[in-house]
Amino acid sequence: MKVFFRVELVQHTGQSAEFEKHIGKDARATTDGWRGYNPITKDYDIKQVPSNKGRNFKELHTVIGQIKSWLRTIPSHISKKHVQAYFDEFCYRINRSIFKESIFHKIIQRMVGAAPIYQTQIIRSVTL
């Protein structure tokens, strides 16, 4: 199973709204033992597993640690409108690092699958 990371700043409107937006009713979600998920367990197939100080969700806690570390390197003052762009860049970098062994293969796939580009399309006509 491939895992892609995405961090999105959202205004908290309740867990149910976020689940409805991102998770289908037929999906099985595994979460930690946080009590905030209890109200939606009747509507979603949620398996709650105690975190055990991060041992049960090692990959998740590793990413959270990386986000915290990365955020410390960001200049101390950024406007709220740019925070999501910083998270987007972080996710791009972490996803790229996870799948770096397949980057060359993906480039070749895209090159073979793309329509050809001819010299006349890329050279600008110059009039003297």
What is the C-alpha separation between 62 and 54, in angstroms, rounded? 9
Domain extents for the chain? 15-122
What is the C-alpha separation between 117 and 111, in angstroms, rounded? 11
Cβ-contact 54, 61 below 8 angstroms: yes
Q: Within the chain, which residues score under 70 in pLDDT? A: 1-18, 74-76, 124-128
pLDDT reported for residue 40: 81
* Segment 89-103, tens digit of pLDDT: 888 888 777 777 777
pTM over 0.85: no
Q: Quick one: tokens of 34?
A: 């946080």
* Segment 68-80, tens digit of pLDDT: 787 777 666 777 7
